Amino acid sequence: MKIIALVCVLFAFIARAYSASTTWGVQNTTDIIVLNQNIQYPAVRNTVQTLYFNVPASYQSNSKVISAIYLQDQFKNSSGPTNTLVWGGPGWTFATIQMKTQSSYGLNVTFLVYGR
């Protein structure tokens, strides 16, 4: 019985670590902000939402090479999404981020992209 409880606690710590803010790359002093956007979606009861965010937006262009991407969870209880870099990212001029919310939670994330 103790083993089951320990495994549950371990999974709780892992879930908490993945559902907070996420960073890819490193911001340098010479970098400028390419994108600063707050993304909000309302909660849907008993549903996990999967959302994709593209940099640059559809039918837009970006000549800056991305050096860092920051997704900052704005919920104070760390109930934010699990973030995955799908395409591109630091070293490229584009990126696609997958954000998967927790069940019955919405999305409130500040999205910062730095480039040079």
Q: Residue 102: which of 45, 40, 37, 54 has the closest Cα?
A: 45
**Total domain count, the chain:** 1
**DSSP state letter for 92:** S
Q: What is the pLDDT of residue 19?
A: 47
* pLDDT tens digits, one per residue of 36-64: 888 888 888 988 888 898 888 777 777 88
pTM: 0.73
* pLDDT tens digits, one per residue of 78-116: 677 888 999 988 999 889 999 888 888 888 888 899 998
CA atoms within 13 A on the CB side of 100: 8
pLDDT at 66 over 80: yes
Which range marks the domain in which residue 45 is found? Answer: 2-115
* pLDDT tens digits, one per residue of 18-35: 446 888 998 888 999 988
Alpha helices (H) in the chain, listed in sequence order: 2-18
